[in-house]
Amino acid sequence: MTPSPATLTMSELFERFLAMRIETRTGYGKVIRSFSPGDLLHDQISLGPLGEGMAQVADDICSSREPDFELDEHIDMLRAYAKTFEVVLAEFRAVESDCRIEPDGDEPADPAERKVWEEAWEDAKENPTYRIPARGEAA
């Protein structure tokens, strides 16, 4: 008699999945990528400071009775955060561009003046400064 396969709950299946080793191989059998999903979920280095807060999220996912739902929810939240960051970044770049102080005038014809002017532009690129216009004043 053949033993019947084990019946697992989703959380038990997910627990075993987290311990698996997943490998991608070339057609010649060389491993080009190898990882454990559990290690990947708990890898704090790849997320930098954000990873510290994600440790609890990873633990919640790993211990969830519905890991697929938890993963889906967290992916949606992260996408929303990323979209918020993109909006904030775009708006900041617009403000930064409007408030940046750049050297005045056109490129001078005189070589000595042009050299000073070019140095001012280089300095402005390397060490930008900004000015917030007064209310009603154009940037």
Confidence label for 69 from pLDDT (cuts 50, 70 and 90): very high
Asked if residue 45 has pLDDT above 60, the reply is no
Quickly state the pLDDT bin for 3 (edges 50, 70, 90).
low
- Structural domain of residue 47, as residue ranges? 10-99
Q: Is 137 a domain residue? A: no
Q: b/e per residue, 75-106, with b = 16+ CB within 10 A?
A: eeeeeeeeeeeeeeeeeeeeeeeeeeeeeeee
pLDDT attached to residue 60: 87
Residue 49 inside a domain? The answer is yes
Please, which residues have CB within 8 angstroms of residue 139's CB and are 6 or more apart in sequence?
Answer: 98, 99, 131, 133
Number of domains in the chain: 1
Rounded to an integer, the average pLDDT of 45-68 is 80
Residue 72, domain member (yes or no)? yes
Q: Is the pLDDT of residue 2 over 80?
A: no
